[in-house]
């Protein structure tokens, strides 16, 4: 099994956790103060609709997923064979965000006939949070 051959000693789990917290905080700012109303409009969400959600479940699940993403990026960085710092970690996060996450979202948004504006908001957040996570993980490597 691949996991049994993986070496986790090069992963700083505190950095993984802090990176996930940073992504979560960025999301709170991104989807409220910066792009909240535009995001709602693109999706056709009303304030009333959003208030009906089980927010502890949404926020808790989101954080767990951000933690998994952060851990995955840490694994990628730890096994890149390069000596990491904040700059290289940020570059890795940026490339993962641009080349994998942003493009995958773009494919889905094309078929779902979502707007380019919504894609820019959502993919922009993902790319930025992966870049930040990469910088944090790289700085603590």
Q: Are 62 and 27 in contact (CB under 8 A)?
A: yes
Could you write out the DSSP letters of every residue in 46-76?
Answer: -HHHHHTS-HHHHHHHHHHHHHHHHHHHHHH
Exposed, middle or buried: residue 127 (CB in 10 Å: 0-12, 13-18, 19+)?
Answer: buried
Model's pTM, two decimal places?
A: 0.91
For 77-127, the pLDDT digits (tens) are 888 777 889 999 999 999 999 999 999 999 999 999 999 999 999 999 999
| Least confident piece of the model among 2-6, 23-27, 78-82 | 2-6
Does the pLDDT value for residue 68 go beyond 90?
yes
pLDDT above 70: percentage of residues in the chain: 96
The whole-angstrom separation of Cα 38 and Cα 31 is 9
Tell which residue, 100, 96, 99, 82, has the closest CA to residue 138.
82
Q: What is the pLDDT of residue 107?
A: 98
The whole-angstrom separation of Cα 129 and Cα 141 is 18
């Amino acid at each position: 099994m691949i996991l049994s051959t993986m070496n986790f000693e090069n992963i700083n789990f505190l950095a993984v956790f802090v990176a996930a917290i940073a992504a979560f905080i960025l999301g709170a700012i991104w989807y409220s103060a910066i792009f909240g109303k535009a995001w709602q409009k693109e999706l056709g969400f009303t304030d009333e609709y959003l208030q009906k959600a089980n927010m502890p479940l949404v926020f808790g699940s989101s954080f767990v997923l951000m933690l998994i993403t952060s851990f995955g990026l840490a694994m990628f960085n730890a096994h890149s064979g390069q000596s990491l710092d904040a700059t290289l970690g940020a570059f890795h996060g940026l490339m993962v965000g641009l080349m994998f996450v942003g493009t995958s979202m773009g494919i889905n948004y094309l078929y779902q006939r979502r707007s380019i504006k919504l894609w820019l908001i959502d993919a922009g957040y993902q790319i930025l949070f992966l870049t930040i996570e990469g910088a944090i993980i790289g700085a603590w490597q």
